[in-house]
Structure 1
Amino acid sequence: MTIVNSTSISPLRQRLIDDMNMRHFGRDTQRNYLRDVARFASWLGRPPDKAAGEDLRRFQIEQSDAGMAAPTMNSIVSALRFFFTFTLDRPDLARKLYRIKHPRKLPVVLSREEVARLLNATTCLKHQAALSVAYGAGLRVAEVSMLKVRDVDSERMLLRVERGKGGQYRNAMLSDDLLGLLRQWWKVGYRQGELHRDGWLFPGQHYLKPISTRQLHRVVVEAAQAASITKRVGPHTLRHSFATHLLEDGIDIRIIQTLLGHAKLDNTAFYTKVATRTIRAVTSPLDKLAMFIPGAGTPDG
């Protein structure tokens, strides 16, 4: 998925783009990697393929001293590691880059009642259907944006995600209610000329282009405001809520891992920290002592 006009860029930049395209990197990932490599090149003051190990060390030290947040620095490290390992074939330099450990914030999760309020607060059927896919199938915002009409498999009750994170393909769940909503959207969108059988499931301003992730973020924020939800939310909040609610319903964590498309179980297990219904369902060993029930006696007798 090339995001830059190849006639206006250097051969080294084009090589990086080709390497990312070959691995089916998403549009946002490509843009971020190009930006971060360009940031390093600007700091270096010469082409990044002329960098030495000491340059990478000084770059990280200076960015840290300047107060760069750990998540931002780690994103730059990921971009530079890819650049040096694959584009330049210099894994020895990539090993000079270190990710910074930092406490991971708990994700914002909506209650089921808040999700219902948010979905009902959308201003049109297309937006309601798009956000319902994010929550009902647990998709990332970029995955929702890149869905096509043919990706809805009503026979097998699946959504085919062909542009997942890292270019991975997977099947997501398609519930009866979500299928019913998507059929409503198909009828309206087809009648209005927005939807076409070989086109995007959620077109943007022009039917040949998908709705942007930025637009979907704006839709979520505006719907949350209209629904009087004070939590700071975005499209990924619906994915967090999907995973947390499944966990609270007793769904096996490895099944949730598959539905989310997580490569590592640790990423899915993080939701156990916000699954409050699961916590409330556990009986404390203190309660089993029955010490403080009226008439049950005291520890001394």
Structure 2
Amino acid sequence: EALNLKFSDFQESDDGEFYDINILAKGGEYQTAYIAKSYIKADFERLLSINLPENYIFTSGCSDKPISRQNVYSLLARIYRKCGIVNKRGCHILRHSFAMNMVEKNTNLGVIQKALRHKKIQTTMIYADATGDMVKKEMKRVM
């Protein structure tokens, strides 16, 4: 879904702290994702200054078409190897990491569901599964 994002899909939120991202999701419906402006503002504005709003954000560099899924998988595989991450491929490890980071910070499961843009909470549970250490820590807290 992110590979087809255009600069025009990003709008500043009413509070000015986030970009609201309009994403064409599975099933052909639009959903909104959010990213804190502080994370990407400088890079986003620099890229927008040399691109048109209707241009894709992620390109192969030699055309105005979106980067292919295969190229993204290759790039991520190299990054994972450099980070010492083995036996993991594709983009979903990023979703799992994001969800687990939110779980570790005691984020409400409904908020995680909305952040991941899942329709069913059961899908979110696949991504946001408590670890044994998390269970032990919570048990200590309530005992």
Could you tell me which residue of structure 2 aligns to residue 184 of structure 1? Answer: 43
Give the conservation status (yes or no) of the 8 Å contact 2:19–2:37.
no
Relative to structure 1, the CA distance from residue 163 to residue 251 in structure 2 (aligned partners, 3 Å threshold; closer, same or farther) is same
Structure 1 pair 171–276 and aligned structure 2 pair: CA distance change class (3 A): farther
1:274–1:168 distance in 2 versus 1, CA, 3 Å: farther
Note if 1:252 corresponds to 2:113: no
Greater share of residues in helix: 1
Q: 1:221 aligns with which of 34, 56, 77?
A: 77
Number of aligned residue pairs: 140
The match for 1:40 is none
Identity fraction in percent: 22
Uncovered stretches (5+) of structure 1, i.e. residues with no partner: 1-142, 289-301
Q: CA deviation at 1:276?
A: 5.2
Q: Could you give the per-residue CA deviations for residues 35-62 of structure 1, whole angstroms, max 9, x where no partner exists? A: xxxxxxxxxxxxxxxxxxxxxxxxxxxx
Q: Measure the CA separation in 1 of the matches of 2:58 and 2:132.
A: 33
> SS of 1:282's equivalent?
helix
The answer to whether the Cα contact below 8 Å between 1:248 and 1:275 also exists between their aligned partners in 2 is no
Corresponding residue for 1:153? 11
SS in structure 1 opposite 2:20? strand
Offset from partner CA, 1:8-56 (integer Å, 9 cap, x none): xxxxxxxxxxxxxxxxxxxxxxxxxxxxxxxxxxxxxxxxxxxxxxxxx
Matched letter for residue 25 of structure 2: G
RMSD over equivalenced CA pairs, Å = 2.6
What CA distance in whole angstroms lies between the structure 2 residues aligned with 1:277 and 1:196? Answer: 48
SS in 2 for 1:246: helix
Aligned with 2:54: secondary structure? coil
TM-score norm. by structure 1 comes to: 0.41
Higher strand share: 2
TM-score normalised by length of structure 2? 0.80
Aligned to 2:35: 174
Aligned to 2:2: 144
Superposed CA offset, 1:75-95 (max 9, x none): xxxxxxxxxxxxxxxxxxxxx
Structure 1 consecutive aligned stretches of length 4 or more whose deviation exceeds 4 Å: 188-191, 274-277
**In terms of Rg, which structure is larger?**
1
Give the gaps of 5 or more residues in structure 2.
none
CA–CA distance in 2 between the matches of 1:254 and 1:225?
33
Separation in 1 of the partners of 2:69 and 2:110? 28
User: Which runs of structure 2 are paired with 1:110-149 in the superposition (5 Å)?
Assistant: 143-149=1-7
